[in-house]
Amino acid sequence: MKTLNRRTLVAFGLITALVMTTLPAMAGKVQKQLIAESTIDQVMRSGVLRVGMDTFLPWAMKDKKGELVGFEIDVARRLASDMGVKVEFVPTKWAGIIPALLTGKFDVVIGGMGIQPKRALKVNFSIPYDYSGMAIVAHKEKAAGFASLEDFNKADVEIACKLGTTAVTAVKKYIPKAKLRLFDDEAQAYQELRNGNVHAVVGSAPRPAYEAIKYPKTMFLPLDKNFTKEPIGFAVRKGDFDTLTFFNNWITVVSHEGWLEERHHYWFGTKEWADLVE
């Protein structure tokens, strides 16, 4: 019995020694793998931050020279500058922007993306760096007398939205009886409204208000405020803790600086930039 115990102890000691020598090696390997897979690490090594985005006025749009301008463009450029790298914008159709992120077409989505539970099943979101909301702009003749969401909530009412956006979700939730007309390009949706082919367009503020101001003979705002509020965050691939932590820290710092608020006011609270794009 004593011999058996001694052998058991020796075997246990050998196993323990093996585990103790193997674990550090395994931990080191895993750590190196995590670092190698970190988006931040890859960006710093390549010197380029690839940003997925789509055009939404005034989030991101092209100026008269064909250059990208807008709130999101300012945010991405400031982020890249603070990281000491260049920024590369990768314009992507909104309906396919999450799949493009997951397949590595770019490093992060900075494009006015609302933080939603369904999206969070596929990507990780940073803390909010801005807030948006849905607004509605209507055709003066087709929607004459409409003054509430309930007025639009009818089977014979047609609402235009951009495909893949939270505007679609908002219409299905708040105006479920209306017929949805979906477009790949937001400009197409507004063109349909100007042509009188739909009753209204639902989209992220402040563009509906801008459209009503720009085309007062054909459009109006039936509601006096946005009918939703949603947090906006950066979207990154799942499992990348280092990248998410860095983005959260960066957002916290520039928020306390007041820089995000100042940029938001310029793009959403003024039209000082209008001459750049019109």
Whole-number Å distance between alpha carbons of 173 and 80: 37
Give the β-pairing of 219-220 and 134-139.
antiparallel
Strands (E), 85-174: 86-91, 108-109, 124-125, 130-132, 134-139, 158-162
> Is residue 108's pLDDT more than 60?
yes
Structure confidence by residue, pLDDT tens digits, 74-107: 999 999 999 999 999 999 999 899 999 999 999 9
The percentage of the chain sitting over the pLDDT mark of 90, rounded to a whole number, equals 74
Residue pair 86/77 in contact (Cβ under 8 Å)? The answer is no
Task: Give residue 246's Cα distance to chain centre.
Answer: 17
Mean pLDDT over residues 231-236, rounded?
97
- Name the CATH code of domain 134-220 (choices 3.50.50.60, 3.40.190.10, 3.40.50.300, 3.10.28.10): 3.40.190.10
Domain ranges of the chain: 40-131+230-277, 134-220
- What are the beta bridge partners of residue 202? 136
Task: Give the residue carrying structure tokens 């019995």.
Answer: 1
Question: What is the C-alpha R_g of the chain?
Answer: 25
Whole-number Å distance between alpha carbons of 150 and 41: 50
Residue pair 111/56 in contact (Cβ under 8 Å)? The answer is yes
Model confidence band, residue 1 (pLDDT cutoffs 50, 70, 90) = very low
**Helices within the chain (DSSP H only):** 2-37, 39-46, 71-83, 97-102, 117-120, 149-152, 166-174, 186-194, 207-214, 241-257, 259-269, 274-277
Under DSSP, the state recorded for 114 is B
Structure confidence by residue, pLDDT tens digits, 10-63: 555 555 555 455 545 544 454 445 445 689 999 999 999 999 999 988 999 999
Structure confidence by residue, pLDDT tens digits, 109-143: 999 999 999 999 999 999 999 998 999 999 999 99
Residues in the chain: 278
User: Phi-psi region for residue 49, left (φ > 0), alpha (ψ -120 to 50) or beta?
Assistant: beta
More confident residue, 8 or 118: 118
Average pLDDT, the chain: 89
- Name the CATH code of domain 40-131+230-277 (choices 3.40.190.10, 3.30.9.10, 3.90.1150.10, 3.40.309.10): 3.40.190.10
Residue pair 178/158 in contact (Cβ under 8 Å)? The answer is yes
Structure confidence by residue, pLDDT tens digits, 172-187: 999 999 999 999 988 9
More confident residue, 276 or 170: 170
Range with the poorest average pLDDT among 34-43, 153-162, 268-277: 34-43
Whole-number Å distance between alpha carbons of 224 and 119: 29
Whole-number Å distance between alpha carbons of 130 and 161: 22
Whole-number Å distance between alpha carbons of 115 and 235: 9
Q: How many CB atoms lie within 10 A of CB 146?
A: 21
40-131+230-277 and 134-220, same CATH topology: yes
pTM, full prediction: 0.76
- Structure-derived torsion over alpha carbons of residues 206, 159, 60, 121, reported in degrees to the nearest 10: 110
